[in-house]
Each structure stands twice: as structure tokens, then as C-alpha cells.
């Protein structure tokens, strides 16, 4: 029996709760002064991360007084230079030539003694249709070595004369453009659209226009050679190279950059500033044998020398050219007759280009008139002929 005075066993019913939204906000009582410092958990509001200020605006681009014309290959060339610097030092020209001769020594005739004449050429990688300008720039370092002529200067002169729009040469195209009434001061659309690895006439300027550009931009002598590199021109070319002067040569370029015969479909420019001569007997004055390559001789520096007897044209494998072009950093060694034959068959425009649906302007006389059997011999202005 449960007493009426005993507490109820059921839990008391709590009073109804007022909704939180309607509950009165009672401020906490103030803390008494001089309380010891206690560690309190942070309030929920203090856990919110403050919004960071916006990042500062990027600085404005630097202002320059002069904006040079865009040059194809300048950016790529700089990137390649930086990559080579990270990979290791670029070999000097003498080291590169010696490496090349060691690799090719088995092709040299053992019944001959060999004399190497080779000027020091720098390298420059092209991008797009710049092979002529790049070859001319490399040659220019031998014609004005103290001051030099930057590639931008060659491009600037070519642009002012209407040869180029952005570095690609229009010299052959301009002749035809004037004949057919096209405004030759404006770049042709098809030249802007072609790829860096394709051939077009504008990428291989006529030899005569290259000569005019060399005279004006480099202040040098420029002799256009007609009739090919053989016959009566052969000794003239070899004596030019023995004297240390550069030679610009148009030729058909094979997959490994060596001369081939594609009837002008792969026309390209190279510069030669060296020659390797195979002779029956060594001159008695002014030469010294290479300590690493027996049978190879160099002109002794600072010593008068007797000119060598030039090999006869009918003697195969007795003359090699050392050349550079805008698609490799290294010297290349080419049989003279191979270069002569390639230069002498530059006759046609590429059929694949003629059938690709685009409009092309072929120069007056075609590739045959502008390139075939021609070369450019360059000398310093104060040099005797």
C-alpha cells in the first residue's frame, strides 16, 4: 500500500519548453575581478577562419622603348641554348671538327695526305623558313667578327626591302608578284600558313637577292657564282675556302641534312667555311701534323705557308666540304662532288605543294632560274679578290 505522502515513482513531467527562437537572451554574469587566468575552449565564433585578403595584382609588364620585329627561331634557339647549357658545354668548333673527322676517318683514302682548312663558325638553329638568313648570319661572323651583325638586323633589312614579312624570305616571290600585279609590300597568305618543316619558294631566296642583302647588311663583298661548283669554278671555290672565306650554297637537303637530289623539292641553304683536301705530297712550308690523327695536317699558325696543289676534278673522294646549316649545331662533312651534283639539279617546284590545293606564286623562271647551279662567295670588304 502506497502512502499518499510517499513520493511518486513516475518522473515529473517537465514544463513545456519555450522555442529557442523565443527564449530570452540572458547575458552571463560578469566575472569577478582578479580571477586567475584559466584555459577556456574557444567559442564557436572564434573557430571560423578569417577570410584572407585578395592577392595583389600582378605588376604591369615592363615598358620598352623599342620593340624589335618578330624573328622566327629566336625563342626556340634560346631554349635550345639553355637546354644545352644544362646538359653540358657546347663543343668548340675545333673539337667538333676533330670529333667528326675521327668518326669519318675510315672513308678517307689512305694513299693521300690530308690538309684541313677550317674557319671557326658559330651555330644558330632556325625555326620556320629562315635557312637563308641563318646561313648568312653564320657567314657574317667571319666577315665582321669584332662587331658582328645580329640576326634581327638581317631581318630588318630584308623587311625594309620587301624580302620578308616575319623572317621568311620573299625575294624570289616578289619578282613574280610585281609582274602579276600583286602588292609586293604585303605578306602572301600562303607564306604565313606553311609549316616549319615544309618547303616553299619563299624559304629559299634567290642567290642574287642573298648577295644584295649581304652587301647591304654585312658591308661585305658578294660574288654570285653561275654555272655550278664544278668545271672552271671548282678551283676558284676551293681557293676561296682555303683563304678562310665563307661560301653559301643552296642544295637539296636529305633526312640527315646531307646533300641529295630531289630536283629542288627539298631546297635548303648551308654555309661552308672549311675544306679538307687530299694531296699526293705535302707542301714543304707552313703545315704541322695533327697529334691525334696521323696523316692530317693543319696550317701552322703565324707561319707563312706554301699553297697546296689542288686535287684534280677527276680524282674521287679527294675533296670534302665542312658545312653548317640551320637544323643542327654540328659541322657536317660532305663530299664535294655530292654538293656539286645537288646544287646543279635544283630545277623544279615541289609537286606535292603544287597539288595541295593552296595558291602558290612561282618566281619568274622558277627554281631553276633562282637557285640552280648558283652559289654565293663572301669576302670582307677590305679583302683582295
Cα–Cα nearest to 307, from 299, 319, 315, 297: 299
- Ramachandran angles phi, psi of 225, nearest 5°: -100, 125
Q: Which three cell numbers stand for residue 257?
A: 641534312
Phi and psi dihedrals of 114, rounded to 5? -120, 135
Tell me if residue 131 is catalytic. yes
Helix (H) or strand (E) holding 157: helix 151-160
Secondary structure of residue 1 in the 3-state scheme: coil
Q: Which of 131, 191, 200, 372 is catalytic?
A: 131
The H-or-E segment that residue 271 falls in is: strand 267-279
Could you give the CA distance from residue 291 to residue 279 in angstroms, rounded to a whole number? 19
**Cβ-based neighbours of 267, under 8 Å, separated by 6 or more:** 199, 203, 204, 250, 251, 252, 253, 346, 367, 371
Cα–chain-centroid distance for residue 52? 47
Q: In terms of DSSP bridges, do strands 247-253 and 267-279 run parallel, antiparallel, or are they unpaired?
A: antiparallel
> Active-site residue numbers?
131
Amino acid at each position: 500500500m502506497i502512502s499518499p505522502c510517499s513520493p511518486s515513482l513516475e518522473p515529473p513531467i517537465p514544463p513545456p519548453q519555450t522555442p529557442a527562437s523565443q527564449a530570452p537572451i540572458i547575458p552571463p554574469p560578469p566575472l569577478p575581478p582578479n580571477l586567475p587566468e584559466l584555459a577556456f575552449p574557444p567559442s564557436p565564433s572564434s573557430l571560423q577562419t578569417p577570410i584572407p585578403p585578395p592577392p595583389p595584382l600582378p605588376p604591369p609588364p615592363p615598358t620598352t622603348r623599342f620593340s624589335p620585329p618578330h624573328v622566327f627561331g629566336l625563342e626556340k634557339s634560346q631554349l635550345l641554348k639553355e637546354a644545352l647549357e644544362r646538359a653540358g658545354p657546347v663543343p668548340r668548333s675545333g673539337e667538333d671538327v676533330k670529333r667528326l673527322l675521327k668518326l669519318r676517318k675510315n672513308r678517307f683514302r689512305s694513299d693521300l695526305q690530308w690538309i684541313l682548312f677550317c674557319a671557326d663558325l658559330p651555330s644558330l638553329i632556325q625555326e620556320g623558313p629562315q635557312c637563308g638568313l641563318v646561313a648568312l648570319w653564320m657567314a657574317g661572323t667571319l666577315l665582321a667578327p669584332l662587331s658582328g651583325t645580329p640576326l634581327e638586323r638581317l631581318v630588318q633589312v630584308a623587311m625594309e626591302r620587301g624580302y620578308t614579312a616575319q623572317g621568311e624570305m620573299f625575294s624570289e616571290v616578289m619578282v613574280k608578284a610585281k609582274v602579276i600585279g600583286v602588292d609586293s609590300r604585303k605578306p602572301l597568305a600562303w607564306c604565313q600558313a606553311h609549316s616549319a618543316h615544309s618547303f616553299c619558294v619563299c624559304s629559299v631566296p634567290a642567290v642574287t637577292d642573298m648577295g644584295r642583302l649581304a652587301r647591304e647588311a654585312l658591308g661585305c663583298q658578294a660574288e654570285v657564282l653561275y654555272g655550278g661548283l664544278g668545271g672552271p669554278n671548282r678551283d676558284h671555290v676551293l681557293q676561296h675556302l682555303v683563304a678562310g672565306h665563307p661560301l653559301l650554297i643552296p642544295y637539296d637537303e636529305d633526312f640527315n641534312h646531307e646533300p641529295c637530289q630531289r630536283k629542288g623539292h627539298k631546297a635548303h641553304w648551308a654555309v661552308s667555311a672549311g675544306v679538307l683536301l687530299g694531296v699526293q705530297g705535302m707542301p714543304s712550308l707552313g703545315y704541322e701534323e695533327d697529334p691525334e690523327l696521323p696523316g692530317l695536317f693543319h696550317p701552322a699558325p703565324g707561319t707563312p705557308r706554301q699553297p697546296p696543289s689542288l686535287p684534280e676534278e677527276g680524282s674521287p673522294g679527294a675533296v670534302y666540304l665542312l658545312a653548317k646549316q640551320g637544323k643542327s649545331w654540328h659541322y657536317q662533312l660532305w663530299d664535294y662532288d655530292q654538293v656539286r651534283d645537288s646544287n646543279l639539279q635544283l630545277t623544279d617546284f615541289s609537286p606535292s605543294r603544287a597539288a595541295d590545293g593552296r595558291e602558290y606564286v612561282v618566281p619568274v623562271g622558277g627554281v631553276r632560274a633562282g637557285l640552280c647551279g648558283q652559289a654565293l662567295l663572301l669576302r670582307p670588304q677590305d679583302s683582295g679578290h
